[in-house]
Amino acid sequence: MYSIRLQGDTAALLRKMRRYSELDRKGLNTALAEGVRESTLERFKQGRGPDGKRWKTSIRAAETGGKTLIDSSQLRNSIKTTADASGFAVGTNVKHAATHQFGDKGRTIRAKRAKNLRFQVGGQWISKKKVKVNIPARPFLGLSDEDMQEIKATTEEFIGRDD
């Protein structure tokens, strides 16, 4: 048998323990997930990863004056959240997301529905059976230092602080 004996003013500790046991964990995790999602969407606007580093500009963005990873907005618009009492997740189910998140060195692309691939580079049309491409990592998912501070602040607000 184990026992713990507390001495001194335990009222504040007991209040915090009671608050924590009554905490709406799903509500907290939903709020945390939405905060991280908003931060992730902001990264698309800024063209930066969670570490604050700018993404390498894509060829398409450089040639058209557009933004990297926001050609059709499919990837950005696919960022979703899920939360329950045990935790939360922020992510995407778009197939090419991992390629952009982690990069892809030396991938060979082949024509599927035609004899050759046909694409434009620098205003010139090129036709090839296969092409090797290097796609640099452009991480958009993850937690920044600012995200961690926001998670701490939101959690403290939910639990309540009386110290």
Whole-number pLDDT of residue 161:
59
3-class DSSP assignment, residue 162: coil
Number of domains in the chain: 2
pTM of the predicted model, to two decimals? 0.78
User: DSSP character for 68?
Assistant: T
Low-confidence ranges of the chain (pLDDT < 70): 1, 3, 6, 161-163
Whole-number pLDDT of residue 98:
96
Whole-number pLDDT of residue 111:
86
Q: How far are the Cα atoms of 107, 109, 111, 120, 133 from residue 115, in angstroms, in the given order?
A: 19, 13, 6, 17, 19
Whole-number pLDDT of residue 13:
75
CA angle 53–107–78, rounded 5-degree value:
55
Q: What is the span of the domain harbouring residue 155?
A: 11-103+138-159
The Cα–Cα gap between 141 and 125 comes to 34
Whole-number pLDDT of residue 162:
52
3 domain residue, yes or no: no
2 domain residue, yes or no: no
Q: How far are the Cα atoms of 44, 92, 98, 117, 134 from residue 102, in angstroms, in the given order?
A: 16, 14, 6, 25, 11
Alpha carbon 37 to its chain's center: 7
Are 80 and 151 contained in the same domain?
yes
The Cα–Cα gap between 93 and 30 comes to 19
- Phi/psi region, residue 72 (left: phi>0; alpha: psi -120 to 50; beta: rest), is alpha
Whole-number pLDDT of residue 55:
97
Q: Where are the beta strands (DSSP E) in 6-100?
A: 80-84, 87-91
Q: Which residue has the tokens 């961690």?
A: 148
Are 80 and 132 contained in the same domain?
no
Are 89 and 39 contained in the same domain?
yes
CA atoms within 13 Å, Cβ hemisphere of 129:
0
- First-residue to last-residue Cα distance in the chain: 33
27 domain residue, yes or no: yes
3-class DSSP assignment, residue 96: coil
